[in-house]
A and B are shown apart, each in its own frame.
Chain A
Amino acid sequence: MGLTFSEKILGSQAGEVVTVSPDFVLSHDNSAAIIQEFKKFGLSRVRRPDKIVIVLDHIVPASEEKYAQNHKSVREFVSEQGISRFFDVHRGVCHQVFIEEGFALPGRLVVGSDSHTTSYGALGAFAAGIGRTETAAIWATDEIWLRVPETIKIEFVGKFPPAVSAKDAALKIIGDGGADMADYRAVEFGGPAAKDFSVASRFVLCNMAAEMGAKNGYFPPDGVTRLWLGGRAKEAFQAVVSDPDALFEKTLTYDLSTLLPQVACPHSVDNVKPVTEVEGTKIHQGLIGTCTNGRLEDLEAAATILKGRKIHGEVRCLVLPASQEVYLEASKLGLLTVFAQAGCLILNPGCGPCLGAHQGLMAAGEVTLSTANRNFKGRMGSREAQIYLASPATVAASVLAGAITDPRKVLQ
């Protein structure tokens, strides 16, 4: 019997518990709390400063003194410990910065104290989210225990219709399977249409694998991967792929050509309906960006719809490029001008309002349509507010109308 990608990376069969040494361990603003945990071990130095990646992105720039203090303690720590892979508040969302820096390479093992660490499977890495205390323990020991996951395979066939994208595919899969469809498991994406997915689109699926409950998401590396990594990868790498006779728990197939734009309704990511069933729902705010949908292709999809138009007078629309690099590219292409002229508010790269700690929170009774990955009750301000999730195209079409709108109508 052959082995799956995850079995090869972790060096054992599904169901076994192994102790491994990761290639990289990521953390963000929560590094301030991890430092406090690390100090409990009584060690003066981290074991492998070269494996630690820290990006300040969650509450940037600091909106209150207590956050400024956290950031300061992180800056002092990285300086004292010689951690060179530190990225300050101007760089963007940790997951986007991580891939732009070329840290996510095929065959690498990455863990991070953020649930969306799964995103790096877009480039063929094994990447899983972990907690804070165990991140501190890796800083101390360079080791972590992981259970080797069983693998669910999801195959894509066909081509996306206009105004339908990877986010719609992700929401459709989660709506069908439920928020626990891949608990403890790996999700491997493939099928004849996989080669048509850009790295940004692969990122969306692997990012949203966290919302399926998955330990990791993964696209087998191919020419698209190698092209994207050219000039970014700083080390040699070798693709690791599942054997042809590997054992998958099950295989699901999705035909992209029949997919409609999808919307996740309050208050869970698996409460998914085709946009046609929720059209006309009034919104107060649109959010385009985050680690899920803040890359250039996402901003382009939104700008195509917003160009030369004005957003609805009773709606505000926030745009957050995922990183400084994306911000600069969008600026060069004139996309930021399109957004500003349409009446959107362009925020600095970062996590922003997605997690509800600052920027663009909602009052009771308000509704946001967001390209982010979670719509849990109370996540963006009041617990009496509502969050719907959709693709950048659907959010762009909806901020024009002031209500949830099928983007296919606007593109016609």
Chain B
Amino acid sequence: MKGIVWKYGDNVNTDVIYAGKYTYVILPPEEMAKHALEDLDPEFARLVRPGDVIVAGKNFGCGSSREQAAACLKYAGVQAVVAKSFARIYYRNAINLGLPVLQSAEAVEALQAGDEVEVDFAAGKIRRGGGEFSFPSFPPSVLGILEAGGLVEYTKKKLGKA
């Protein structure tokens, strides 16, 4: 799937991804998507298209454990977040919700806002024009959750409820 790159810096925190004032209200997915990155890039939620990719520096998603910071990007249509590194709770939340989080410093250095990219999950590649960047494969425990489509489906299978 192809999409456009949205590029941000280091330490993009959960408050600017999804503000605290919405965190304790239970909102439907389309409403959550409307507030994505509100305090970082107020234009993002209006202009993002399905398949777009967020590219950021180190420690993406630092701060709160709020899961909506992953959910709002998924519901906004973001195909994947590519970063130099991720904050650990954000990483878990993204996997648990089925939002791919890909670590590639090389891709982050090279990709620019507005680039058109394609993410090939099977091959572990991000492609732009002629070039391509690899991202490491997930550990087996994590892959199982992603393959099931998130932790809810994974757990249902484990419980024999799927």
Contacts and interface: CB of A to CB of B under 8 A. Distances in A.
* Interaction A to B: yes
A37 B93 CA distance: 13
Interface in A48-93: 58-59, 66-67, 70
B104 interface: no
A115 B88 CA distance: 10
Nearest to B16: A377
Contact of B161 (A29, A30, A41, A137): A41
A113 interface: yes
B67 interface: yes
B85 A141 contact: no
Contact of B62 (A33, A58, A213): A213
Contacts of A131: 65, 67, 70, 89, 92-93, 96
A379 B156 contact: no
Contacts, number: 138
Interface string B86-97: 111100110011
Given A36-B26, A179-B11, A378-B39, A133 B88 contact: no
A43 B159 contact: yes
A59 B142 CA distance: 33
A325 interface: no
Nearest to B40: A377
B43 to A, nearest CB: 14
Interface string B63-106: 11111001000000000000001111100110011000000000
Contacts of B88: 183-184, 213, 215
Size class of the contact patch on chain B: 35 or more
Contact of B151 (A115, A137, A183): A137
**Secondary structure type dominating chain A contacts:** loop
Nearest to B59: A180
Interface in A182-226: 183-184, 213, 215
Contacts of A141: 155, 158-159
Contact of B59 (A115, A140, A183): A183
A115 B20 contact: no
A8 B89 CA distance: 22
A40 B156 contact: yes
B19 A33 contact: no
A377 B62 contact: no
Given A129-B65, A180-B62, A213-B88, A37 B152 contact: yes
Nearest to A62: B24
Nearest to A40: B152
Most buried by A among B15, B39, B66, B87: B15
Nearest to A381: B21
A374 interface: yes
A356 interface: yes
A36 B68 CA distance: 14
A345 B93 CA distance: 37
A246 interface: no
B42 to A, nearest CB: 9
24 contacts: A115-B64, A115-B65, A115-B89, A132-B93, A133-B93, A133-B151, A134-B96, A137-B96, A140-B155, A178-B59, A179-B59, A179-B62, A180-B59, A180-B62, A180-B85, A183-B87, A184-B88, A213-B87, A215-B88, A355-B20, A356-B19, A374-B63, A378-B19, A378-B39
Interface of A: 17, 19, 29-30, 32-33, 36-37, 40-43, 58-59, 66-67, 70, 113-115, 129-134, 136-137, 140-141, 145, 147, 178-180, 183-184, 213, 215, 268, 270, 355-357, 374, 376-379, 383
Given A141-B159, A213-B87, 7 more contacts: A59-B24, A67-B25, A131-B92, A147-B139, A180-B85, A357-B21, A376-B14
